[in-house]
Chains A and B, each alone.
Chain A
């Protein structure tokens, strides 16, 4: 029973990790809360579903979700963020909110407000190891997350693009003085972030075997909590915080009633903000971000 909950919690945690990484790529580098990420996640799920229903293999569906969400993220960056980059942070945040209103409305009109279901034959396979039973889909979700995080780690740590991203995150002004051009870089950050959110959308669709246009808001808000718990400046904090929140949520649902889980998750986030604003993995350097 406990082990079973661990597997469920880790699956949910994997999805949270991906969305939290998506938030923190934009937040850590630009100091902007991109509220449309919640809907990019939902959109990615629908693109993935469309690919699966068209009998395409799973990896292709995952790529379709990522590419679609990344393209929309690029539009958001060019139209909604770039012209407002010098405004107080609340202004670009609200323009991304405008995009999330549009995306949710479009998804509702195109795919309907009823949940879209995956065909049963995809979900039947289960692996049993002693007392623990994991569905093939759960293993797919965790496996895909590990691969995507490794890929992101490679991009951020080993490529010159990644070095430039980290330089801007560390100190925007100094990075620009040293010749890092911020324009293409913010586009890249938005697109990477969009791709991660899209992937998470495909994966949560596989996990729940269903998707609705309203899935983004609830999970998106919780991913903000995951990002905060992990530390907004340290991208890798999400790797620890995702599973922690996922497990905390599944455990409170299993042993304390499903209703108190949000209370626990957001309480944890506020505690971290107050006691350790740099997050679990952050260093002592507490830069408090730009003004509102």
Chain B
């Protein structure tokens, strides 16, 4: 039987994985979002409102929150079309901070004091969602749509000239990512049974990006490796007591220097496949 300590950590891994996948989907089109914690916050607050105040079952609430956040994602995606690269990243950062600031002022749900009353969910439930979303991302990765996403990433002008609808692709990826991040938020709220606006700030957004880049941004499984690493590494460094984050930061820099493409990348998999066929 797993201890509650490890169960808690694994729940965090599952939630972080969903957040990382939401960044991964947007990154696949060559866009960097530093504001996905904003979508997570929308999902967390909306799901909690639906389960606590409206007494809906959690699964129904999560689906509604994902749809609503997806709609917000599409709304954010349209103006985002005007921006590229680091400028888009800074705009999404601003969006995330605006959402956090909004909930800070949203007195109906506790404002700065936070919101409670949710029921705790099991680890199995969290990972059922994490597995289902991972599976749909894996299916997506082997579809025509993914080729179109990557075409937009590699050269947007060429993709448009080839007849791809780049607007739908970019906006759609924002919408899907926002829905995934909202599910991460709903699960977070029902795992920790307490939320406050500070849970969904810039540091959370950057954690998602970090998980993707450390794990490997060219392949979906990278998000899983990165999420495991980000949650477990600080735990394994506990023996360093108050210095553990210094070592954690140093290891992070070292990993980026040694493997800037992330721990997993596509070439790793194609080499092993070649080896088998030979």
Chains A and B form a bound pair? yes
- Chain A interfacial positions (CB closer than 8 Å to B): 27, 31-33, 35, 79-80, 83-84, 87, 89-91, 94-95, 97-102, 104-106, 108-109, 217, 221, 224-225, 228, 232, 257, 259-260, 262-263, 266-267, 269-270, 273-274, 277, 288-292
Report how far A288 CA is from B95 CA in the complex, Å: 19
A61 to B242, CA, bound (A): 28
Contact A228 B90 (CB under 8 A): yes
A232 to B252, CA, bound (A): 28
Expressed in whole angstroms, the minimum distance between the Cβ of A93 and any Cβ of chain B is 8
Are B84 and A288 closer than 8 Å at their CB atoms? yes
B35-55 vs A, CB cutoff 8 Å, 1 = contact: the mask equals 000000000000000000000
- Assess the A259–B101 pair: CB atoms within 8 A: yes
Residues of B within 8 A of A (CB): 27, 30-32, 79, 82-91, 93-95, 97-98, 100-102, 104-105, 111-112, 202-203, 206, 209-210, 213, 242-246, 248-250, 252-253, 256-257, 260
Chain B residues with Cβ under 8 A from A35's Cβ? Answer: 206
Query: How far in angstroms is the closest Cβ of chain A from B210?
Result: 6
- On chain B, the residues within 8 Å of A232 by CB distance are 87
Contact A94 B85 (CB under 8 A): no
Inter-chain CA distance A228–B85, complex, in Å, is 14
B91 touches A273 (CB 8 A): yes
Task: Report A29 CB to chain B, min CB distance, Å.
Answer: 13
Additional A-B contact list (4), CB under 8 Å, known A33-B86, A101-B246, A259-B101 = A217-B203, A221-B93, A263-B101, A289-B86
Q: Using a Cβ cutoff of 8 Å, how many contacts connect chains A and B?
A: 144
Q: In the complex, are the beta carbons of A31 and B86 less than 8 A apart?
A: yes
Q: Are A288 and B87 also in contact (CB < 8 A) when A79-B253, A263-B101 are?
A: yes
A-chain residues with CB within 8 Å of residue B97 when the two chains form the complex:
221, 262, 266
Count chain A CB atoms within 10 A of each CB in B82, B89, B90, B244 and give the residue with the most.
B90
**Given contacts A277-B87, A289-B85, are A221 and B210 in contact (CB under 8 A)?**
no
Partner of A290, one of B85, B95, B252, B253: B85
Residue in A228, A260, A289, A290 whose beta carbon sits within 8 Å of that of B105 in the complex: A260
Given known contacts A33-B86, A274-B79, A105 and B249 CB-to-CB distance under 8 angstroms: yes
B209 touches A102 (CB 8 A): no
In whole angstroms, what is the CA distance A232 to B257 when docked?
27
**B245 pairs with A259, CB closer than 8 A:** no
Majority-rule SS of A interface residues: helix
Contact, CB under 8 Å: A274 / B91: yes
Report yes or no: A98 in contact with B98, Cβ–Cβ below 8 A. Answer: no
Complex CA distance for A277 and B91, rounded to whole angstroms: 10
Say yes or no: B260 contacts A109, CB within 8 Å: no
- For A84, what are the chain B residues with a Cβ–Cβ distance below 8 Å? 256-257, 260
Most chain B CB within 10 A, of A35, A221, A273, is at A273
Whether the pair B86, A94 counts as a contact (CB closer than 8 A) is no
30 A-B pairs with C-beta separation under 8 A = A79-B253, A84-B260, A90-B32, A90-B89, A90-B209, A94-B209, A94-B213, A95-B252, A98-B252, A98-B256, A101-B245, A101-B248, A101-B252, A102-B250, A105-B242, A105-B245, A105-B249, A259-B111, A262-B97, A269-B90, A270-B79, A270-B91, A270-B95, A270-B98, A273-B83, A273-B90, A277-B82, A288-B84, A290-B86, A292-B88
Q: Judging by beta carbons under 8 Å apart, are B83 and A277 in contact?
A: yes
